[in-house]
Amino acid sequence: MKFIYQAWWKILAVLLVGYTIIAGFLLPVPALPILHETIRNVYFHVPMWMAMFLVFGVSVFYSIRYLGSGKEEHDLIAIECVNTGVVFYILGLVSGMLWARYAWGEYWSNDPKQNSAAIAFLLYCAYLVLRNAIDEEQKRARISAIYNIFAFPIMIVLLFILPRMTDSLHPGNGGNPAFGKYDMTNEMRAVLYPAFIGWMLIALWIATLRYRIRLIENKNNSL
Amino acid sequence: MIKRLICLAVFLIGYVSAFAQDVEMADTMRSSGKIYVVVGTIAIVFIGLVIYLFTIDRRLTRLEKYKD
């Protein structure tokens, strides 16, 4: 856990995202009907979800560890990762809505992908409500850890499996080809993959900051 | 000291841009659709946020040292 105090990976995150901000606007993209330049949204909308996955994944990892170890710190990591993940979830959802307004015609067209994203969002809101509803600390930690372990696979199913089994406007779903198959050029990949890593590290950074604040608060409260 | 430098920078930028408005020169920020301006704006916002994050990080490190 020493690395959360180190700077190198934070600088790496800044460099990667900084590169994608510049290259994402200036490198050529394929000319597609309807999408036009909005295809560049891929560099900023999709990494929000990747960042969210990473922190939610870390959260589940520490929820499982908490059940084994009973260490309070593991529970604190889990909750602060979810708190950070929810922020990136909202950013992904709202940026997706804006994009949908101009690519699909409506902010919200009750598309399977959008609807299940909304349901999965409520799933994580319920996690936060559940935590606040239990006063006793160890009970809260244990119950919310178990909830978190169940919520994560359900979120994966809602976001990735169910929309893909029906027709959806979102790329990669139903009979709709993913960007990766036909539209993604190598130039786009050269921006997209660094963007994934960069934003994932930024999300991790924010989560570690929140965790460190939480540790101090916790220490103060227990005194 | 820092305030004075910022003032100086603001005046300098204002001075340069006041002259740039008269005659349209082929400087990059104005070329083809002005996308560079957008890139610049977003880069500034991002750099600002990053500096903010680093400041929080430093403050936390100081707090943690103080606590131990």
Spans of all domains in chain B: 2-67
Backbone phi, psi, residue A172, to 5°: 90, 0
CB-CB under 8 Å, A213 with B67: no
Q: What is the pLDDT of residue A136?
A: 94
Q: What is the pLDDT along chain B (68 residues), one digit of tens a residue?
A: 566 666 656 655 555 555 555 565 656 665 667 778 888 888 888 998 999 999 999 999 998 887 66
Which residues on chain A are in Cβ contact (under 8 Å) with B54?
10
Q: B43 — contact with chain A (CB < 8 Å)?
A: yes
CB-CB under 8 Å, B54 with A212: no
Read off the pLDDT of each residue in A68-77 and give the average, rounded to a whole number. Answer: 95
Size of interface A-B (CB pairs under 8 A): 37
Give the tens place of pLDDT for each residue, A77-130. Answer: 999 999 999 999 999 999 999 999 988 899 999 999 999 999 999 999 999 999
Q: What is the pLDDT of residue A29?
A: 84
Q: What is the pLDDT of residue A196?
A: 95
- Which candidate, A112, A63, A111, places its Cα nearest to that of A85? A63
A14 has pLDDT over 80 = yes
Tokens describing residue A183: 């539209």
Alpha-carbon gap, residue A152 to A187, rounded angstroms? 33
Mean pLDDT of chain A: 91
A212 has pLDDT over 90 = yes
Q: Band of the pLDDT at A17, cuts 50, 70, 90?
A: very high
Q: What is the pLDDT of residue A176?
A: 57
- Looking up tokens 């934003």 gives A199
The top-scoring range by mean pLDDT among A4-13, A176-185, A213-222 is: A4-13
Read off the pLDDT of each residue in A170-178 and give the average, rounded to a whole number. Answer: 66
Q: Which 3 state secondary structure label does DSSP give A110? A: coil
Q: What percent of chain A has pLDDT over 70?
A: 95
Q: Which of B39, B46, B63 sits opposite A216 (nearest CB)?
A: B63
Which residues on chain B are in Cβ contact (under 8 Å) with A17?
46
Distances (CA, A) of A188 to A82, A147, A164, B13, B53: 30, 38, 23, 35, 28
Q: What is the pLDDT of residue A27?
A: 87
A10 has pLDDT over 70 = yes
Q: Band of the pLDDT at A184, cuts 50, 70, 90?
A: confident
Q: What is the pLDDT of residue B3?
A: 67
Chain B closest-CA separation from residue A198 CA (Å)? 12
Cβ neighbourhood burial of A195 (10 Å; 0-12, 13-18, 19+):
buried
Determine the length of chain B. Answer: 68
Tokens describing residue A215: 């540790």
Q: What is the pLDDT of residue A28?
A: 85
Chain B closest-CA separation from residue A90 CA (Å)? 18
CB-CB under 8 Å, A18 with B54: no
Give the tens place of pLDDT for each residue, A22-70. Answer: 999 888 888 888 888 888 899 999 999 999 999 999 999 999 999 999 9
Find how far residue A196's CA is from the centre of its chain: 10
Measured between CA atoms, the residue of chain B closest to residue A16 is: B46
Which residues on chain A are in Cβ contact (under 8 Å) with B63?
216
CB-CB under 8 Å, B47 with A18: yes
Measured between CA atoms, the residue of chain B closest to residue A18 is: B43
CB-CB under 8 Å, B43 with A216: no
Residues of chain A contacting B, Cβ within 8 Å: 5, 7, 10, 14, 17-18, 21-22, 25-26, 205-206, 209, 212-213, 216, 219
